[in-house]
Amino acid sequence: MIRIDERSPTPIYEQIVQSFKALIAKGALAEGDRIPSVRELSATLLVNHNTVAKSYQELERQGVIVSLRGKGAFVAKAAEEPGMERERLLRLRDELRRIAVEAHHLGVGSDRLLAWLTEEMQQYGRDRDARGEPSTQED
């Protein structure tokens, strides 16, 4: 399910966030599925419960999960909160800029970078955007 790379420069809470998002994108977790409690996941991963709580707070802030008092945390509907989709798209665009700069400094051309992105997107079966339109739209 979720694996933590202690050698990674990416903070553990971010690895947890990205792992849940990947599980949802791959279909391993679907809308309405219950996710482990903070204590359950911290015990499974052998990480501090505050780290897991921080990742859950971030997932909830991004609209990926919803917490229901006394019931647990669940995978949310996509773009459930108004304005959340736009904020996440802006963050995605910023991340793509960062990747483009890094690719430039490593001498990776756009054809190679695009091939890698296409390969990654195919793993998630995403050839259309959330509105059912081809994914070639630019913002």
Q: What is the pLDDT of residues 9-24, one digit of tens each?
A: 999 999 999 999 999 9
Q: Where are the beta strands (DSSP E) in the chain?
A: 34-35, 65-68, 72-75
> Which tokens sit at 46?
């052998």
Q: Is 7 domain-assigned?
A: no
Asked if 106 and 132 sit in the same domain, the reply is yes
List phi, psi (to 5°) of 67: -105, 135
> Which tokens sit at 43?
């015990």
Q: Is 134 domain-assigned?
A: yes
Residues facing residue 32 across a β-bridge: none
Asked if 86 and 139 sit in the same domain, the reply is yes
Answer yes or no: are the C-beta atoms of 59 and 53 closer than 8 Å: no
Q: Is 3 domain-assigned?
A: no
Reported as a single tens digit per residue, the pLDDT across 49-84 is: 999 999 999 999 888 999 999 999 999 987 545 566
pTM of the model: 0.66
Q: Is 5 domain-assigned?
A: no
Residue 52, domain CATH: 1.10.10.10
Last residue of a domain, one of 40, 56, 75: 75
